[in-house]
C-alpha cells in the first residue's frame, strides 16, 4: 500500500523519510491549515487525484493523467511533464493546456525555475510581479508573459525521475502556499505512479522480447540444415554454438546432381534475432542460386548485390563458399572477407587467402574464385567463423590463427571429420578454462575419402 505524506502549518513534514518537498519560496503555510473545510477539500482533491492516476499502469496514459490532474488541482493554464534527472537532460514527454490540447514541439517553460527545483529537491513557485522578476526567471517567462509558475520534482527513494510543471498568464490566478503544498504532496505520489508504470512496461517488454527470442530460436533450429548422411568421397561434420539464443552464423552443405558438393559458412555482423534472420535469408538465397548456376563467383556477386540493396548501412556479411569435386580430387573457393579455408595434410595446416571483400558494402563488386586445389584421400578441409580465432582465454588473450593451425596439425591423422572438430573443441575449452564465449562459433570439417 502506498503511504501519503502531508504537511501541517508551522511544523515539520510528517514524512519521517524526508521525501516530502519543502515549500521553496512559498512562505509560511502548508497543505493542512487547520481550517476543516479547506483541509477536507485539499485532502479530497489529493486523494481523488492519486487514486485516478494510480488506476492506470500504461506509462503513456499515466504521464498524460499526471499533467491533467496537475492542471485540475492547480487551476493553471499549461501543464508539462519532463523526464530526466538533470535540468539540461530533461525531455518534455507531455505538454497540454487546460483544455487538453497538445502544446506541440519546442514548448517553452521557465528553465531556471526547473533547475532550481531539481537542485533544491523540493517544489518551487514564483509569482511574477514585474518584468524584471520575469527576466530573472528566464527569457521564456518574460516572453510568454507568465504570471505564476510552479514546479515539483518527481522523486522516488532511489532517484529523480523528472519534474511536473504548471504555469499561468492569468492575473487572477496566483499560486498560493497551499497550492504549492498540495502540488508538492501530489508530486511524491505521482513519482510512485510513474515508477510503477515503468516497471510494468519493462516487464511487458521483457516478456515480449523473451517470446520473440524464443520464436527466433525455434525458427533458427528448424532452418539450420542437416548434414547430408552420405556424399561419395567425403565425410562431413559441423559444430554450431550461438552466444545468444539466436546467431548470425550460418552454414550449409549442398550436394549437386553430378556428385559435387558445395560447402558454405557465413557470418553476419552482430548477434541475436536480426542477425540470425539475415543469415538465413542469405543462406536461402544461395541455395536458390545453386539450383540455377554452379559458378561461385557469379553466385557471390549476386548475393552481394542483394545484400547491398536490402541491409542497413554499416551491416555486412562475410562468406566462404567451397565447391568440391570428390571424384576428380579438386576444389576451388570464393572467400568474401571470411576467415581463410584451412587444408590439413600430413600433419601440416595451410590457410588460404581471401579472394574478395565482405558482402553488403559495395554494389557491383566482383568476387573471383581461387585457383583449383588438388585434394588427396585423408585431407581435411576446415572452415570456421571468426568466433574460433577470437575466443578469449581467462586472461582475455585471443586464441588466434596460429594456435588454431598448430591445434589442427596435432589432430590424429586418421581422425574422422567429427573427431577433428572434437579435437578443436577440446583445445578451445582448455584455452578458455571454462569461461563463456564472446561470439557465435561455427566450424565445418570435410575429410576427403577414397572415391568408389
State how far the Cα of 366 lies from the Cα of 357, in Å rounded to an integer.
9
One digit per residue, the tens of pLDDT, for the chain of length 452 reads 333 333 333 333 333 333 333 333 333 345 445 556 555 555 555 555 555 545 555 667 777 877 887 787 778 888 898 888 676 778 898 899 988 899 888 888 888 888 888 888 888 887 665 565 555 555 655 556 777 888 888 887 777 888 888 888 766 556 777 777 777 777 777 777 777 766 666 666 666 666 666 666 666 666 678 888 889 999 999 998 876 656 778 899 999 999 999 999 999 887 666 777 788 788 888 988 888 888 999 999 999 998 888 777 778 999 999 999 999 999 999 999 999 999 999 999 999 999 999 999 999 999 999 999 999 999 999 999 999 999 988 888 999 999 999 999 999 989 999 999 999 999 999 998 877 666 678 999 999 997 76
The three state secondary structure string of 306-342 is: HHHHHCCCCCCEEEEEEEEECCCCEEEEEEECCCCCE
Report the DSSP beta bridge partners of residue 255: 261
C-alpha distances (whole Å) from 177 to each of 30, 37, 166, 172, 180 are: 6, 17, 15, 16, 5
What is the pTM for the complete model shown?
A: 0.56
72 grid coordinates: 485540475
State how far the Cα of 399 lies from the Cα of 433, in Å rounded to an integer.
12
Dump strand ranges (E) for 160-274. 160-168, 234-241, 249-255, 261-268
Whole-number pLDDT of residue 344 = 97
Please name which of 428, 405, 422, 427 lies closest in space to residue 345, comparing C-alpha atoms: 405
> Do residues 190 and 154 lie in contact, with contact meaning Cβ atoms separated by under 8 Å?
yes
Helix 59-74 / helix 36-53 crossing angle, nearest 10 deg = 160
State how far the Cα of 411 lies from the Cα of 237, in Å rounded to an integer.
15
Q: Express each pLDDT in 192-214 by its tens digit.
A: 777 776 666 666 666 666 666 66
Whole-number pLDDT of residue 16 = 33
Q: Is 295 helix (H, G, I), strand (E, B) or coil?
A: coil
Q: Domains along the chain?
A: 36-202 (3.30.450.40), 224-448 (3.60.40.10)
Amino acid at each position: 500500500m502506498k503511504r501519503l505524506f502531508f504537511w501541517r502549518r508551522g511544523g515539520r513534514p510528517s514524512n519521517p523519510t524526508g521525501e516530502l518537498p519543502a515549500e521553496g519560496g512559498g512562505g509560511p503555510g502548508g497543505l493542512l491549515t487547520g481550517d476543516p473545510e479547506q483541509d477536507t477539500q485539499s485532502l479530497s482533491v489529493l486523494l481523488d487525484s492519486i487514486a485516478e492516476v494510480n488506476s492506470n499502469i500504461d506509462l503513456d496514459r499515466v504521464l498524460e493523467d499526471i499533467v491533467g490532474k496537475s492542471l485540475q488541482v492547480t487551476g493553471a493554464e499549461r501543464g508539462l511533464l519532463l523526464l530526466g534527472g538533470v535540468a539540461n537532460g530533461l525531455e518534455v514527454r507531455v505538454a497540454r493546456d487546460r483544455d487538453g490540447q497538445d502544446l506541440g514541439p519546442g514548448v517553452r517553460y521557465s528553465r531556471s525555475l526547473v533547475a532550481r527545483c531539481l537542485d533544491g529537491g523540493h517544489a518551487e513557485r514564483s509569482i511574477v510581479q514585474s518584468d524584471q522578476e520575469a527576466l530573472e526567471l528566464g527569457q521564456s517567462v518574460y516572453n510568454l508573459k507568465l504570471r505564476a509558475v510552479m514546479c515539483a520534482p518527481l522523486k522516488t527513494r532511489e532517484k529523480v525521475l523528472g519534474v511536473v510543471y504548471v504555469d499561468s498568464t492569468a492575473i487572477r490566478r496566483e499560486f498560493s502556499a497551499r497550492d504549492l503544498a498540495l502540488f508538492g504532496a501530489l508530486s511524491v505520489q505521482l513519482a510512485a505512479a510513474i515508477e510503477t508504470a515503468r516497471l510494468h512496461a519493462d516487464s511487458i517488454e521483457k516478456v515480449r522480447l523473451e517470446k520473440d527470442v524464443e520464436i527466433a530460436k525455434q525458427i533458427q533450429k528448424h532452418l539450420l540444415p542437416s548434414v547430408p548422411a552420405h556424399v561419395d568421397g567425403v565425410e562431413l561434420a559441423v559444430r554450431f554454438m550461438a552466444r545468444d539464443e539466436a546467431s548470425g552464423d550460418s552454414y550449409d552443405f549442398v550436394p549437386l546432381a553430378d556428385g559435387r558438393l558445395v560447402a558454405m559458412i557465413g557470418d553476419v555482423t552482430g548477434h541475436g534475432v536480426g542477425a540470425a534472420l539475415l543469415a538465413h535469408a542469405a543462406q536461402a538465397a544461395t541455395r536458390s542460386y545453386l539450383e540455377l548456376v554452379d559458378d561461385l563467383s557469379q553466385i557471390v556477386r549476386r548475393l552481394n548485390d542483394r545484400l547491398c540493396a536490402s541491409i542497413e548501412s554499416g551491416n555486412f556479411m562475410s562468406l566462404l563458399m567451397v565447391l568440391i569435386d570428390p571424384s576428380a580430387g579438386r576444389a576451388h573457393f570464393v572467400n568474401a572477407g571470411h576467415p581463410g579455408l584451412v587444408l590439413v595434410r600430413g600433419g601440416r595446416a595451410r590457410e588460404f587467402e581471401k579472394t574478395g571483400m565482405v558482402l553488403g558494402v559495395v554494389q557491383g563488386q566482383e568476387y573471383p574464385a581461387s585457383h583449383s586445389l588438388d585434394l588427396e584421400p585423408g585431407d581435411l578441409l576446415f572452415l570456421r567463423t571468426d568466433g574460433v580465432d577470437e575466443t578469449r582465454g581467462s586472461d582475455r588473450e585471443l586464441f588466434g590463427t596460429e594456435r588454431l593451425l598448430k591445434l589442427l596439425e596435432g589432430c590424429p591423422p586418421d581422425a574422422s571429420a567429427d573427431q577433428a572438430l572434437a579435437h578443436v573443441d577440446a583445445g578451445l575449452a582448455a584455452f578458455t578454462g571454462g569461461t563463456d564465449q564472446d561470439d557465435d562459433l561455427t566450424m565445418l570439417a570435410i575429410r576427403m575419402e577414397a572415391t568408389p
